[in-house]
Amino acid sequence: MSSDNEICGMDAVALARAIRGKKLSPVEVVEACLKRMEQLEPTLHAFCTPAPDLARRQARDIEARLAKGETVGPLAGVPVAIKDLVCSAGIRTVSGSIAYLDFIPEEDDVAVERLKKAGAVILGKTNVPEFGYSGVSHNPVFETTRNPWNTDLTSGGSSAGSAVAVATREAPFAIGSDGGGSIRIPSAHCGVFGMKASMGRVPLYPCCRDERYPGVSSWESIEHVGPISRTVADSALMLSVIAGPDDRDRHSLPAPNFDWMECVAGDLKGLKVAYSPDWGYAAVDPQVRRIVGDAVKVFERDLGCHVEIAHPGWEDPFVAFWGLVAMDTDLRGMRAMVAKHGAQMSPHLVEFIQRPWTAEELTDAMVARKAVVNKMWKFMRKYDLLLTPTLAVPPFAVHVQGPEKIEDRMVATTQWLAFVFPINMTGQPAASIPAGFTDDGLPVGLQIVGRHLDDPLVLKASAAFEKAKPWSSRRPPVLDQKSSKPTSTR
């Protein structure tokens, strides 16, 4: 019999194999995860709504089916955490807002529906900033999610709890969503792998939209649902289950002509790779520059790529990006929500909703997106991959939206996100992989961007780097503490 620590240390691929081979019991696996959650959650607050009774019930069902010799899905008995912006039938989905405090969806998101069909066991919902309109880890309702590498710091967001749950082995992998970097941001800050597959690979429905709770809608033209995991193969495994067309999402792509699990094999010799350390305009923390620069050298020195510094050439599209968010937001419904609950909502969200957006600002955003897309496809015709830092800074203090000074320059508190949101504007596949650690032991991410629809190469490049510079065995300090004590967040 494996110990709880051994079980929690196993990746999803290994767990799925062991459970199907009856070397591990689904109940045994779930209990190990629940014990880890019981130990760590008073400090980390990764889960806002744990679902231990549901998890145990699902695990017992899988165990009974295996005992009867029934055919089970590829994720049978494997625990998974679900971001609290992603609908889960019968499980409260608060989205970090007082307005949704008692919202229990009546239907699953497509990704959750597919995970359950594949036999995955749901551990619960993971914490987010309010409605995901932020890249950090706090909201007005729940305790703040803490970074397991230093609990005084943010885990990033908006898939905050999902990344922390994976980094601390509370769950082998988790569902995140990414409208402007929200899978890649916390993956970078927590030292795990996260992938935003091509726009439309994973269908979006209903996300957090519900007619009984008007005012919230997914960011339809820029949002992606996807995996966060400790290994690249685990994300490929999840994508093999949740990706594929669905008529509930008009943007969903046809079934791919590749096998997700085969994408993690092969070498990168001879590929032409662009490296943009700063887009040509962004302030970047010196340690991030150094760590990411060293990681890029691995692609040339160890993986056989031809790497050159180059930039796509656009000007900072941040204002246009938020115009796209505004277009994808139910402003009428959200303004009604602010009128009712505004005093208990996040100030930055209230300000965004109450802003008097003009038609010209919204059409300017669409024009700017087209310009970014055109710059990018022309640029990517010269390169197989594009590498950048995932974020401009390492993790910073909780309860702020971002640092005001980077690289001795005063910047907007959103500037640290400069590398992620443009890739939502283009819809290309992109992943964040652990690149290394600062002198203080904080994780730094490297972003790998592929050509339009070239998800296989992003996974292959990520797996090749993982093999050359493994990261999954490095453990956050919180895992080596003998006891976890609650941390005040108020």
Cite the active site residues.
83, 158, 182
Long-range contacts, 205-208 (Cβ 8 Å, 24+): 205/109, 205/110, 205/246, 205/248, 205/249, 206/87, 206/105, 206/107, 206/109, 206/248, 207/85, 207/86, 207/87, 207/109, 207/177, 208/85, 208/86, 208/87, 208/93, 208/95, 208/100, 208/131
At residue 316, φ and ψ (nearest 5 deg) are -50, 115
User: What are the CA-CA distances from residue 49 to residues 81, 91, 204 (Å)?
Assistant: 10, 8, 22
Q: Which strands make up the sheet holding 173-178, listed edge to edge?
A: 47-50, 121-126, 79-83, 173-178, 224-229, 193-196, 430-437, 443-450, 385-389, 272-275, 306-309
Retrieve residue 470's tokens: 């493994």
Q: What are phi and psi of 150, to 5 degrees?
A: -165, 110
What is the three-class DSSP state of 437? strand
Preceding peptide of 97 cis, ω within 30°: no
